[in-house]
Amino acid sequence: MRHDDRTLDNCIKCSDCNTACPVMKAYPAFPGPKVLGPDTERFRKEGVASDTRWVEYCTGCHGCDVACPHGVHVSELIAKAKAQHTKTGIRAVRDHWLARPAFLGTLCSGTTPFSNAIMGLKPNRWLMSSMADITAERPFPAYSSKPLTEADGNVNRGQKVVFFPGCFIRYNNPEVGRIVVELLRRNGFSVEVATASCCGMPSMANGDKAELMRCVEKNVKEMEPAVARGVPIVTACTSCSYALKGDYAHLPEGSSGFAASARKLSSNTYDLAELLTGLLNAGKLNVDFRATPLKLAYHAPCHLKSQGIGRPWLRLLRAVPGIEIEEIKADCCGMAGTFGFKSEKYPISMDIGQELFDGIAAYKPEFVVTECGSCQMQIAHGTGLKTRHPAEILLEAYQNGTSTRVAV
Amino acid sequence: MSANEFDVLVIGEGLAGVVAAAAAVSRGAQVTLASTGPGRFVLATACLDLDRIVADGSGSVAYTPQELKEAVSFFADFSGRAGCAYEGSVEERRMLPTVMGTFQTVSLAPRSIWQGDPRSMAKAVIVGIEGLSGFDADFVAERLFFHTQQMGLNTSYRSVTIKPPEDLPRPLTTVEIATRWDRDPAYRAAFTDKFRSVVSDAELMILPGVLGVKSDDNDFKHLEEKIGCAICELPTMPPSVPGLRLLRHFERQLVRIGVEVITGFSVQKLCIDGDRCTGAHLDVPGRPRLIRADSVVLATGRFSHLLERQQSHDSSPRPPTQVDDELHALTIAGDVVPTNLFECGGALGKFDPLHGNAIAILTGHQAGILACETEVNYAAR
């Protein structure tokens, strides 16, 4: 994809991006992607001062990029503006920490169960809401005392892959990580777990360019040897896979060896379901499934939609006898990572998600599946239904599929 | 390969691409539709003017009146199933009002637009919305009255401007109102009450296109029952709400009949192998995605056309693509390269760019069918 300055000139002001923006629908005062992206970028490029406060309200869902008929990377222009926008007061401090999920994960996972207990205390949440503008309306995800580590890999004689778990799976839901490793093993892969750093998506969303570039550097360096040998990098979180595929390809500028390595990592990254669907198409997927009668609602995360790989989990889960699964057609769920935790953005976040919550309620599923950890939190909060990662369902559908600790 | 299992790739999601995809499905193909963006729908008036294509001929496109009739009736049927039925026919000519206060000749239009002909009623009310940019009820009423007088008609046009039920930031756009209309039942109800209170003895209410992107034919029927008269929406400046509505309903109908719709990614290159086009590469993050196909339909429009016919850096418009009688794309030298590559819609021949809808439907329908026939013949060979 082209990421040079010229794509800005492709904008003909058709407003297609505005019609796709979930924030504009929920919050009419928001100027929208056309103004914040290509319109204001022209001023920014000339060094003309412009009001940047609104850029904080962009969720980074990529809806505008997908809608644009002329290849303008609208959300990237807004992300650039976010990086130039200076925050003040408690929101600056808050966003500094929200941009560092790997640090928070290490800290909180190392101090469970105290960290979880403190995060769950009402007085503490009230304090955080009044002192740090973090909403007390929604629960924090619990941290696991056993985060995913290199030791959770499964190195065998199969085809080598590197699993990049991302922060949510690594610190909050490591059991899903172990399920992913087992799914890959059952399909003939030898799995190494990469744990260098956060993918950088949260720092990008919070306008922290320096932290973002630190993430890019650590990850590219850690995975470089594997990528050089042509080993696929696999993720099970669509925001991580978008960051690695879409953002790493152009973030290190210029033609340095590092930029080339980053691009190589991009072209070597696969979403888990994308990889497994490839096996399904080639008739090589392990399909030793048992009848699994379940009625499931599926939500396609925004960062899956912007990868252009279709809905691979729908295909995989439909390959299991007994599973009835439908995609609930709706916009963004509204969570957008750390966006939904911020007090001033919480009502907008819930308003954006309403269409999805209503669609799920009308379908009446047993529970909801989606591969994005942040979408899972929002859907559980908005519907009261259980949400699960589709990899969990697929592994359970295998004969003897409930245990992740099957001997090799 | 059996005749029922072949893949057709349609590139472009404008009217031609939508019709081509639906036509290919009707002939038994498994269809993928790939597009960079929403075609011209956002610019659409949604009205079909068949006079131009009939009067001018259609440049490089050869067709018989029967083919036009079949294509139009296929399209009308598809739109009905999609929930926004086109009314009218190839023979019909109605005069429908525009947002500039003029009349255009229309053969087919969606229900929400179709009832605006001044010859079928005596009293109309034009409803403006306070704070809405790009629509002036007084201006429209004055101009429409002037034009009907010129035509010797006695239709009266009254204008009234109402306050929107919820205070939104100004200036308002039609999309903002449509979004509220879709999301909030109380907003719809409040607007409906306001409409009812200004209609009085009018037989027709003319208003800017704001009545929701999700609304379908049933919603319009119910709305007309509630306010007690017929409705005529006027498509406004882009993005046009009636156009967005068509796109949404058409896209959902395509998905219902089994088309895989991939939007948001441009086609990087076509894969040409000898005299066959075997698929296309989509420009997605990471690495290109290959979509294989047995035949390919190009419905890319003139504006962002895929095939560069000349190496030119001046600003002169690209020459139209030439095709043979079977819609095969031709090179500058006039040769067919891939025998399973078909062109339709806006990129073709000489036609009035403002009235390309009829060409899109005619050639989209033909290309969708030809894409299947060529494959059946090829498989048989």
Domain membership of residue A138 (yes or no) is: no
A28 Cβ partners below 8 Å, 6+ apart? Answer: B168, B169, B176, B180
3-state secondary structure of A140: coil
Task: For residue B342, give the H/E element and its range.
Answer: strand B341-343
State the CATH number of the domain containing residue A318: 3.40.50
Interface residue A182 vs chain B (CB under 8 A): no
Domain membership of residue A292 (yes or no) is: yes
Task: Give the model's pLDDT for residue A179.
Answer: 97
Taking CB atoms and an 8 Å cutoff, what residues of chain A touch B175?
Answer: 15, 18-19
Other CB atoms within 10 A of residue B160 CB: 18
Q: Please, which residues bridge with residue B88 across strands?
A: B108
Q: Are B286 and A310 an interchain contact pair (Cβ–Cβ within 8 Å)?
A: no
Domain membership of residue A256 (yes or no) is: no
Pick from A145, A140, A139, A196: nearest CA to A174: A145
Q: Name the residue facing B284 among A28, A307, A355 (closest C-beta).
A: A307
Q: What are the DSSP calls for B113-148, one per residue? A: HHT--GGG-SEEEEEEETTBTT--HHHHHHHHHHHH
Tell which of A50, A84, A118 closes a domain: A84
Pick from B364, B362, B301: nearest CA to B57: B362
Give A18 or B333, the one with higher predicted confidence: A18
State the CATH number of the domain containing residue A78: 1.10.1060.10
Question: Any idea of the CA torsion for B125, B129, B132, B137, to the nearest 10 degrees?
Answer: 30
Q: Where are the beta strands (DSSP E) in B63-197?
A: 86-88, 94-97, 103-106, 108-110, 123-129, 156-162
Q: How far apart are CA A345 and CA A94, in angstroms?
A: 13
Q: How far apart are CA A250 and CA A83, in angstroms?
A: 16
Q: What is the DSSP letter of A85?
A: P
Tokens (6 digits) for B286:
């990471």
- Mutate: best of B9, B32, B40, B179, partner A, most A CBs <10 A: B179
Q: How far apart are CA A235 and CA A230, in angstroms?
A: 16
Task: Give the model's pLDDT for residue B296.
Answer: 95
- The residue-averaged pLDDT of B45-69 equals 70
Q: Name the residue facing A19 among B168, B175, B285 (closest C-beta).
A: B175
Question: Tokens 């035949």 identify what position?
Answer: B295
Task: Give the model's pLDDT for residue B45.
Answer: 79
Q: How far apart are CA B295 and CA B367, in angstroms?
A: 10
CA distance A308 to chain B (A): 6
Tell which of A84, A101, A124 closes a domain: A84
Task: For residue A154, report the phi and psi dihedrals to the nearest 5 degrees.
Answer: -145, 90
Q: How far apart are CA B295 and CA B133, in angstroms?
A: 45
Q: How far apart are CA A191 and CA B59, in angstroms?
A: 60
Quote the Cα angle for A154-A156-A160, to 5°.
Answer: 85
CA distance B186 to chain A (A): 15
Tell which of A29, A58, A84 closes a domain: A84
Task: Give the model's pLDDT for residue A121.
Answer: 86
Q: What is the largest CA-CA distance in chain B?
A: 68
Other CB atoms within 10 A of residue A246 CB: 26
Pick from A400, A263, A148: nearest CA to B286: A263
Contact B191, B181 (CB under 8 A): yes
Give the confidence band of B48 by pLDDT, cuts at 50, 70, 90: confident
Give me the interface pTM, i.e. the ipTM. Answer: 0.89
Q: Is the pLDDT of residue B208 over 70?
A: yes
A37 Cβ partners below 8 Å, 6+ apart? Answer: A11, A17, A64, A72, A74, A75, A77, A78
Interface residue A10 vs chain B (CB under 8 A): no
Domain ranges of chain B: 7-85+245-380, 87-238
Task: Give the model's pLDDT for residue A263.
Answer: 95
CATH number attached to the domain at B7-85+245-380? 3.50.50.60
Tokens (6 digits) for B190:
């409040």
User: Which overall architecture, per CATH, does domain B87-238 show?
Assistant: 3-Layer(aba) Sandwich (3.40)
Other CB atoms within 10 A of residue B375 CB: 24
Task: For residue A110, give the H/E element and its range.
Answer: helix A101-110
CA distance A307 to chain B (A): 6
Tokens (6 digits) for A292:
């699994």
Task: Give the model's pLDDT for residue B354.
Answer: 55
Domain membership of residue A54 (yes or no) is: yes
Interface residue A68 vs chain B (CB under 8 A): yes
CA distance B167 to chain A (A): 10
Task: Please give the tally of structural domains in chain A.
Answer: 2
Pick from A303, A322, A304, A324: nearest CA to A312: A304
Q: Is the pLDDT of residue B304 over 60?
A: no
Q: How far apart are CA B98 and CA B78, in angstroms?
A: 25
A73 Cβ partners below 8 Å, 6+ apart? Answer: A1, A3, A7, A65
Q: How far apart are CA B206 and CA B190, in angstroms?
A: 18
| Nearest chain A alpha carbon to B305 | A70
The structure's pTM equals 0.91
Give the confidence band of B57 by pLDDT, cuts at 50, 70, 90: very low
Task: Give the model's pLDDT for residue A3.
Answer: 63
Give the confidence band of B211 by pLDDT, cuts at 50, 70, 90: very high
- Mutate: best of A3, A17, A19, A74, partner B, most B CBs <10 A: A19
Domain that holds residue A32: 6-84
Cα dist from B193 to B163, B167, B184, B223, B224, whole Å: 12, 17, 15, 10, 12
3-state secondary structure of A286: coil
Q: What is the DSSP letter of B257?
A: T
Residue-level pLDDT, tens digit, chain A, 408 residues: 556 666 788 888 888 899 999 999 999 889 999 999 999 998 888 888 888 889 999 999 999 999 998 889 999 999 989 988 888 888 899 999 999 999 999 999 889 888 888 888 888 888 888 888 999 999 989 999 999 999 999 999 999 999 999 999 999 999 999 999 999 999 999 999 998 899 999 999 999 999 999 999 999 999 999 999 999 999 999 999 999 999 999 999 888 899 999 999 999 999 999 999 999 999 999 999 999 999 999 999 999 999 999 999 999 999 999 999 999 999 899 999 999 999 999 999 999 999 999 999 999 999 999 999 999 999 999 999 999 999 999 999 998 765 554 433
Domain membership of residue A172 (yes or no) is: no
3-state secondary structure of B338: coil
Q: Name the residue facing A68 among B37, B43, B176 (closest C-beta).
A: B37
Q: How far apart are CA A72 and CA A11, in angstroms?
A: 6
Q: Are B285 and A24 an interchain contact pair (Cβ–Cβ within 8 Å)?
A: no
Mark A119-158 as b/e (b = at least 16 C-beta within 10 Å).
Answer: beeeeebeebeeebbbbbebebbbbbeebbeeebbbeeeb
Q: Are A67 and B38 an interchain contact pair (Cβ–Cβ within 8 Å)?
A: yes
CA distance B363 to chain A (A): 22
Domain membership of residue A314 (yes or no) is: yes
Q: How far apart are CA A339 and CA B113, in angstroms?
A: 41
